């Protein structure tokens, strides 16, 4: 990382009234060198902000003073969330999906972080194996909450083995300290068949109830195994195994409620779908804080589609409330390309979502709208979620359609107009329209381009 560099300046903001330009580097703010966007926000919060700035291409630093109302935004956007160096992950997890990525994808996809700051800002999960006393002090002092922690198992030896890092056996001590300090923490367990499920999962859930009852939530997530996986011990869950996981999750979900504990324990929607069980209704979930892990996502989508209500299920982390923080990763802008207004409408999506969409469309009179599931041939394995569809997968599916069809695709598979395999919306063989992945957004788009055909009563 190369320091805090300005990526944009808001029109008619305090920063727009002084000699600043896109590309300028902020060397210091009020005499301090900020290390990340969190510290940046704290330093620019006052009435008088003194910047030491270097113009791009120059080694000379100059002083810039900005007067504004206390608490008012400065008006700058910064091109990075971390200015010193992202704390990369030194684990080598057997189930890590990054190790399953083929060569040639976007470089940023291969970066493994284990940085508590990105956990706070973006909802990234950290194993706490690189967490320190200094980090704990800062989190508590600055109330950097919530944080997101990968637990996987509470068996010290097994956790070290799964993370392939001896610190994995002891790093959950930081989780206890965080909870004792009143920091909100959401946990996840990536379940690997024959490794940390079964009796080991029961042990983990028992420990959550007895040792970490202050957790806000715990998500049980199935391991993703693509055709690129080189781990012989990794395989997808069978239907029967998924049924067992769902049963355990629901048993402990009810148990913690009976005990009056705060933690909400749930299996991801994907486990329900693999098990052939209809995912739970919205009232079953205490919150949608784990929606990005697939907890309650189907329920939220159904409710917002059928009842036309706004449900903010995505966007964990507090980056949106931090002035200037860039939207990284899958939270970056999706972009949109309008369709051609064809006579028919086809929704292209992943294999898991397709039957759910089909049922919803039939319910409200859109039986004439086609839902086309696309097999993820790029990654293969048990990868069936819409968010991992690639441009190559969509190109194959679009080539089979007539040109008089308006094609809708979920925006979750696009990041700033680019798919995981590097293809762009413009590289597709025909124009498509991206739709935000909420039920309400899909309903509104369908009402805009098509009319429901209700069955005769």
The pLDDT mean for the chain works out to 88
Question: What pLDDT is attached to residue 457?
Answer: 35
Q: In the CATH hierarchy, which fold is given to the domain comprising 98-295?
A: pyruvate-formate lyase- activating enzyme (3.80.30)
CB environment 299-319: b (16+ within 10 A), e (fewer) = bbbbbbbeeeeebebbebbbb
Cβ neighbours, 10 Å, residue 1:
14
Q: How far apart are CA 227 and CA 378, in angstroms?
A: 8
pLDDT at 318: 45
Are 4-78 and 329-449 equal in CATH topology? no
Q: H helices of 181-266, where?
A: 198-210, 239-259
- In 226-369, DSSP assigns E strands to 264-267, 344-349
What does each C-alpha distance from 164 to 71, 171, 276 come to in angstroms? 45, 13, 33
CATH number assigned to the domain with residue range 329-449, chosen from the 4 options 1.10.238, 3.40.50, 3.30.460, 3.40.1000 = 3.40.50
pLDDT at residue 125 in the model = 93
| Torsion sign across C-alpha atoms 358, 364, 368, 370 | negative
Q: In 3D, which of 273, 315, 272 has the Cα closest to residue 290?
A: 315
What pLDDT score was predicted for residue 3?
74
Q: Where are the domains of the chain?
A: 4-78, 98-295, 329-449
Instruction: State residue 101's pLDDT score.
Output: 84
DSSP H or E segment with residue 447? helix 439-449
Looking at residue 326, what is its pLDDT?
A: 63
pLDDT recorded at residue 320: 40
- Looking at residue 103, its pLDDT comes to 81
Low pLDDT (below 50) residues in the chain: 1, 313-321, 455-457
Topology at the third CATH level for domain 4-78 = Pdz3 Domain (2.30.42)
Cα-Cα-Cα-Cα torsion 272, 274, 278, 284, nearest 10 degrees, comes to 10
In this prediction, residue 401 carries a pLDDT of 82
pLDDT digits (tens, 9 = 90+) for 81-98: 888 888 888 899 988 888
How is residue 191 annotated by DSSP? E
Q: Centre a 10 Å sphere on the Cβ of residue 232 and count the other Cβ atoms it contains.
A: 7
């Amino acid at each position: 990382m190369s320091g805090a560099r300005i990526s944009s300046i808001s029109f008619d903001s305090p920063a727009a009234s002084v000699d600043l330009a896109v590309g300028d580097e902020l060397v210091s703010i009020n005499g301090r060198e900020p290390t990340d966007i969190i510290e940046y926000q704290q330093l620019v919060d006052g009435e008088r902000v003194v910047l030491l700035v270097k113009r791009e291409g120059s080694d000379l630093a100059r002083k810039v003073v900005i007067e504004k109302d206390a608490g008012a935004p400065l008006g700058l956007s910064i091109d990075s969330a971390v200015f010193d160096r992202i704390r990369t992950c030194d684990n080598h997890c057997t189930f890590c999906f990054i190790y399953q990525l083929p060569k040639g994808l976007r470089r940023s996809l291969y970066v493994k972080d284990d940085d508590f700051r990105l956990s706070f800002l973006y909802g990234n999960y950290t194993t706490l194996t690189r967490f320190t006393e200094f980090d704990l002090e800062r989190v508590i002092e600055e109330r950097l909450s919530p944080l997101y922690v990968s637990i996987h198992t509470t068996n010290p030896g097994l956790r070290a083995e799964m993370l392939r890092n001896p610190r994995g056996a002891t790093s959950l001590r930081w989780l206890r300290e965080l909870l004792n300090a009143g920091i909100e923490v959401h946990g996840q367990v990536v379940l690997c068949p024959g490794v940390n499920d079964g009796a080991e999962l029961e042990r983990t859930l028992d420990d959550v109830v007895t040792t970490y009852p202050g957790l806000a939530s715990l998500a049980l997530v199935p391991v993703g195994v693509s055709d690129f996986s080189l781990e012989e011990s990794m395989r997808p869950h069978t239907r029967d195994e998924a049924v067992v996981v769902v049963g355990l999750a629901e048993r402990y979900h009810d148990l913690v409620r009976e005990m009056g504990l705060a933690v909400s324990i749930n299996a991801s929607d994907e486990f329900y779908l693999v098990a052939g069980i209809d995912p739970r209704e919205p009232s079953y979930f205490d919150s949608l804080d784990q929606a990005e892990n697939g907890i309650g996502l189907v329920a939220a989508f159904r409710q917002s589609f059928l009842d036309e209500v706004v449900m903010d299920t995505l966007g964990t982390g507090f980056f949106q409330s931090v002035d200037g923080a860039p939207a990284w990763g899958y939270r970056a802008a999706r972009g949109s390309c309008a369709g051609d207004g064809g006579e028919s409408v086809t929704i292209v999506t992943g294999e898991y979502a397709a039957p759910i969409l089909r049922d919803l469309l039939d319910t409200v009179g859109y039986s004439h709208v086609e839902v086309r599931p696309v097999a993820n041939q790029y990654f293969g394995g048990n990868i069936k979620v819409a968010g991992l569809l690639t441009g190559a997968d969509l190109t194959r599916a679009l080539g089979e359609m007539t040109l008089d069809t308006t094609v809708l695709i979920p925006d979750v598979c696009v990041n700033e107009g680019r798919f995981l395999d590097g293809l762009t919306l413009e590289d597709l063989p025909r124009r498509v329209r991206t739709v935000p992945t909420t039920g309400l957004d899909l309903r509104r788009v369908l009402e805009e381009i098509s009319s429901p055909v209700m069955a005769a009563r």
